[in-house]
Structure 1
């Protein structure tokens, strides 16, 4: 599941920005000015409209570019335009921009609506950077000054308490919101995340389905002419399972495919293209096919199925309790003893010598995610383990980091001929002879 997405891009931000009228502000700029300025104001208004459309389609980076172009057209951009620029940066996780420009924009705005938009962006930034106590203070200040705005952001208060480890309080806050407004999708999504962390199954899985009602959820909201599977008997049924979220989520959720196989279903799994060979090798009973872009999909490709289900919804039916999770969780990657022996030979590892695989971060780096990573050099004390061998499992460009670790005395073997980012079958073999 997307880390922190229950905060980043929160709908309250863009709703607030949409409530701050940029049209009148740009119209005022075209009054009593030169023909050139009037034309530029019209161009800017058109760019802002395009930016709003990009935000609605989760194209936050595109929105940033469009808003920068609009700002560049105007000698004195109105404060509301800067508000929209800050919102786009927040939704794009461009917190460097928020940090650099928050105070300047905050000093510029005067209306309470604009102030709320700016402060919401700042609170989002503080949470994503891990400054939870500071975010709480900002929320308290907002509650005193603007009760309506604070109420709209109360779900964020629950998120902060969840990050602080106060899961009971976080769950209570989200449930309080839902008791008042059952249709609050963001509160229900946040509740599901808190409940998953607290092990409150199966209610967490039920609430997790709210992801498909949340427009900021970072997966395509696919629709089919096939009934959604909701726990019916699958013996002899043809089932389409389709991918969602990121590659890591897809791999994690794929661990439920053996449950689906055991239920007697005939399964077709649409996976990320680069994962298809890995899944086909690991699940020979399943027909695995790469997901096609929306424009390349054919209606005939989806004929004959009895049910469809997103892969992230399987646990709701097959592993509804923590006990089920613990009893059914099994490794599913297929091992290849011959290749494993060759890897050990290549690095000079004796038969019983420990081999440890090291990966220290994701390729997706930003202010929020970096809190969960380790710097490569911090792993250098592992050299004290003596006889162990170390394999680099970091899958993106990391030659500089590997060089630093080697300089610090950690003998780290890498396999530059293997594209660990895209050749996942080969990449999956490397951890097998290791303690990863």
Structure 2
């Protein structure tokens, strides 16, 4: 932001040389007139000593102070300008230009608070000053005060300043403030045919992406590309919208085009690495992330994407280095630490892995249940603990294996869980208080002797600090024995052979595609003779029609969890992909063969396996992909193992 042009009329003096009888100076009309003429001609070296001479004789000469302050500011000496402009503003407090110029100089010195005060005073005197309104809004946004910026800009627009530049600033500030609908509305009000329309389309597209309206964002970014084909943010926005729509193959060339249009900007390459990663093109994703770092070595997102791709390749030690750098640059970014924790656990470094978990579940970051007690610190408890679940039902089943340890470290445990788990946990832990989770806190968890609380996912950090803390258990959940026996009779019979339960799909929205198989892919397993196959799949099971897989209409794994546990316990063997079925089988101690992807799609507890075993569930045998996405050889190995008995 440059200073206003040198002028003599800002403080009430004529811009032209004063005519006889018109000069308002008592002592120095000729000297001032000569200084102004030299200043207007650009001969600041000659003008400066004249202003200084006036001020030596008249230290309270407002116009000389103002003009000399402008001169210093225009020549890059804001520190010298500030006292002169402050003097001018003090002597002529009713002149907006003095306060504006003072704010300009203060802003250059990084004295944002004082600059803001000066600019606000200038706007009080001249509320229709659009350029200064934009400058003040930019200052507020630079400090993260986006709501204040939107208020300032909206007031100016409501006062009648129908200025496309102000409206674009409003759209940008609303986007930064998280008011995505307001950002889109402001951007749409900018008419076609004005220069600001380009920026308006960019903001509108970004807002639509944040509103999860990717198809509309795609159309908006296409308009931006048509209007400004040489800008990089158009194809970059197209790529982001295509990514959101799952069209990663179409997103890649858009990011490549954006990177070519902006050879110095790293953002398109960061986005390119993400799109390549989604397609499983991991070596290319690594290359794109490294190229982004060549453009900006301190871009945290590029280090993070590099870590994601390296971890996908199974290069966990290298991924940790990349994540370390990302965390150094953005220490409060939870996702960076979450991913790094996975690599630490995969490498067997429990201490470092749990340290990242501790950060993620610190009191200021976690979504707390409405209990007033402090978080459990891992030590002995002179009272009871209320434990609550907040993840999926499989995670709660896994955490149930730690409740006995917590009970031993305290005087009792209140377990607030998914209501569907209450019968199963109550039977398995009769010494604990099991209550269903509801929106409000349960009275049992508010009892006077309940002195601390913990989310279930918090427990491993303290109760499984080292590998020798993992017990070699035979199961810790107890299914209803009568229902188990009834189901065994139903599925059995003289020709039933072994009863094998199978589950082939994960409903996890982000990882399910990496973990799931089509039931048709199971043909080598389902063709093994002498086996009664029973569906343990939750959700739709239409795929089982026309196959040898038996679907029991009396068991709904989603609604009747206690019945589902009995069904799992009735199996001779469970074969499943990574989903809640695996957790139930392992927690019930049933033999389970778990088919896992190589790297992508693994949740943290499966990363901790050693060989074909997993420390959480001794009854589980792991069959892992040799190559990411290749299930055929896994299916073949499982089929052969079933034949071998």
| TM-score w.r.t. length of structure 1 | 0.73
Partners of 1:167 and 1:75 lie apart in 2 by 39
Change (3 A) 1:29 1:388: closer
Q: 2:310 aligns with which of 152, 157, 161?
A: 161
TM-superposed CA distance for 1:252, in Å, is 1.4
Q: Which residue, 403, 406, 411 being the options, matches 2:545?
A: 403
Deviation per residue, 1:140-192 (Å, 9 max, x gap): 2222333343x442133223222222222223333455567655544332221
Asked if structure 2 preserves the Cα contact closer than 8 Å seen for 1:155 and 1:186, the reply is no
Matched, 1:171 2:326: no
Preserved contact between residue 158 and residue 173 of structure 1 (Cα < 8 Å) = yes
**Structure 1 residue 248, shift from structure 2 partner:** 1.8
Give the structure 1 partner of residue 437 of structure 2.
291
Computed over aligned residues only, the root mean square deviation of the Cα atoms, in angstroms, reads: 4.2
- Distance in structure 1 (CA, Å) of the matches to 2:238 and 2:357: 31
Aligned partners of 1:171, 1:396: CA distance in 2, in Å? Answer: 37
SS, match of residue 64 in structure 1? coil
Compute the displacement of 1:138 (Å): 1.3
- Contact preservation (8 Å) 1:392, 1:414: yes
Is residue 64 of structure 2 the alignment partner of residue 64 of structure 1? Answer: no
Q: 1:391 to 1:174 in 2, by over 3 A?
A: same
Q: Residue 191 of structure 1 aligns with which residue?
A: 340
1:415 and 2:552 aligned: yes
SS at match of 1:202: helix
Alpha-carbon shift at residue 135 of structure 1 (Å): 0.7
- In structure 2, the CA distance between the partners of 1:118 and 1:423, relative to structure 1 (3 Å rule), is farther
Paired position in structure 2 for 1:316: 461
Shift of the 146–233 alpha-carbon distance from structure 1 to 2, 3 Å rule, reads: closer
Give the match for residue 4 of structure 1.
Answer: none
- Is 1:124 aligned with 2:274? yes
1:425: which partner in 2?
562
2:304·2:336 contact (CA, 8 Å) conserved in 1?
yes
Distance 1:350 1:318, change over 3 A: farther
Q: Is the 8 A contact 1:109 1:115 kept in 2?
A: yes
Q: Is the 8 A contact 2:221 2:238 kept in 1?
A: no
Alignment of 1:25-40 (within 5 A): 30=189, 33=192
Query: Which residue does 1:210 correspond to in 2?
Result: 359
Q: Give unmatched runs, 5+ long, in structure 2.
A: 1-143, 145-167, 174-182, 226-231, 575-645
User: Contact between 2:215 and 2:245, CA under 8 Å: does it hold in 1?
Assistant: no
- The alignment status of 1:343 with 2:487, answered yes or no, reads yes
How far apart are 1:241 and its partner, in Å? 0.5
Structure 2 contact 221–237 (Cα < 8 Å) conserved = no
Q: What's the CA shift string for 1:86-145, capped at 9, x where partnerless? A: 65775xxx4514444453476478874996444433422332443211211211222233
Change (3 A) 1:203 1:349: farther
Taking the aligned partners of 1:115 and 1:323, their CA distance within structure 2 comes to: 49
| 1:141 aligns with one of 288, 291, 294 | 291
Give per-residue Cα distances to partners, 1:46-73, cap 9 Å, x unaligned.
9966x68xx5xxxxxxx213x6557778
Q: Which has the higher contact order (CA 8 A, sep 6+)?
A: 1
Structure-2 separation of matches of 1:228 and 1:88: 41
Given candidates 521, 524, 528, the residue that maps to 1:378 is 521
User: Cα gap change, 1:275/1:338 in structure 2, threshold over 3 Å: closer, same or farther?
Assistant: closer
Q: 1:268 to 1:176 in 2, by over 3 A?
A: same
CA distance in 2, matches of 1:113, 1:231: 51
Give the 3 Å change call, closer, same or farther, for CA 99–394 of structure 1 in structure 2.
same
How many aligned residue pairs are there?
Answer: 386
Structure 1 runs not aligned, ≥5 long = 1-14, 56-62
Tell me by how many angstroms 1:426 deviates. Answer: 0.7
Question: Which residue in the other structure is 2:402 paired with?
Answer: 256
Q: Please list the CA deviations of residues 217-275 of structure 1 after superposition, one character each: whole Å capped at 9, or x if unmatched.
A: 9x84557421111122135x121111132222222122111212233432111222333
Question: Is 1:228 matched up with 2:375?
Answer: yes
* Aligned counterpart in structure 2 of residue 280 of structure 1, from 421, 426, 443: 426
Mapped partners of 2:386, 2:545: distance in 1: 45
| TM score, norm. by length of structure 2 | 0.51
**Residue 318 of structure 1: how far off its partner (Å):** 1.8
Q: Which SS does the other structure have where 1:427 is aligned?
A: helix
CA distance in 1 between counterparts of 2:236 and 2:265 reads 9
Q: Separation in 1 of the partners of 2:321 and 2:222?
A: 49
How far apart are the structure 2 equivalents of 1:70 and 1:363? Answer: 27
Counterparts of 1:73 and 1:128, CA distance in 2:
24
Matched ranges for 1:58-97 at <5 A? 63-65=211-213, 68=215, 76-77=223-224, 87=240, 94=244, 96-97=246-247
Q: 1:187 and 1:364, CA in 2 relative to 1: closer, same or farther beyond 3 A?
A: closer
Aligned 8 A contact 2:238 2:251 in 1: no
For the pair shown, the structure with the greater C-alpha radius of gyration is 2
Cα 1:89–1:220 change in 2 (3 A) is: farther
- The 1-side partners of 2:446 and 2:551 are apart by 42
Secondary structure in 1 matching 2:569: coil
> Shift in Å at residue 214 of structure 1?
12
CA distance in 2, matches of 1:251, 1:316: 17
